[in-house]
Amino acid sequence: MSRWQVLLLAAGTLLAAGIVTLVTLSGRTPSGPVAKPGKPTGPPPVAAGAEYVAIGDSATGAPGNTPPEANDGCLQSSTNYPHRVAAKLGLKLTDVSCGGATTQVQDAQPIGQLEVPPQVDALTPSTDLVTLSLGANDFGTFGSVVVYCGSVRSQDPDGAPCEADPVHGLTATEKRVAKIEDRLVDAIRLVAERAPEARILVIGYPEFFPESGPCPQLTLAAGDYAFAHRVNELLVRAQKRAAERTTVEFVDVYAPTRGHNMCSDDPWIAGAYPTRSDAIPYHPYPEEQKVVAKLLIDRLT
């Protein structure tokens, strides 16, 4: 089995308006200009030199966009959205995004034959900004769609065998995603404890899958395209609700990337057979990372 297949099977991976809140988990209100009647203000812009920690999976790492930033098995690109944001705003970036990462940010995580330190270990009381984008790898949720659902296509090519599956289907997936939401809440709270002065933003996932097929980049039974699309939406909703429950900001990526899924005429996500060399299967092309970076820069400034 190739390295990319190991990454895909073990990691999976790998988003609706954003929620802007003024009060963080610690109960503090960010400093800033006093709001005038009828003119509410948000958090102040992030200043140059601020310490920024990016937590995420390979949807954040964007493997293949450029040669890997470090030879640690995480395969993060040096031009992913955290690096683009940091370069534009002059931030001091610590990017711990990693292919295969889950919401268990407090644990060291095995990536292939390597063990990557807990992502929260990058946080300190002096951290000013944290972005977090996780969930798709928990319980193999994303990988189940792109690997298992494809494997059962032959059982009912015109039906939805994966959606009906008792282990990988819709009912079981809804239960797993509910747990993912709770795990995200715990992860965000832990981030707030480790970085009590930081502004925290949850970055949603893009539109990975189309609503219908067929599509050579994602080979599924005819009825399972709608199921895959539903799983995508469920993951994004879990991210958004976790942000709401912990009163941190949510950056919607799903809506701005609609129509650019891996099966579209203008894909921003690579499918099973990337048409270019700047992404690996089922991961973002640079166009998607540029969109996320702009959304985040606009929010932070």
Return the active site residues. 58, 283
CB 247 within 8 A of CB 24: yes
- First-last CA distance in the chain: 45
H or E element: which one contains 116?
A: strand 114-116
What is the rounded CA–CA span in Å between residue 6 and residue 21? 39
Q: What is the 3-state secondary structure (H, E, C) of 217-280?
A: CCCCCCCHHHHHHHHHHHHHHHHHHHHHHCCCEEECCCHHHCCCCCCCCCCCECCCCCCCCCCC
CB 153 within 8 A of CB 168: no
CB 130 within 8 A of CB 60: no
Largest CA distance in the chain: 63
* 201 beta partners: 131, 249
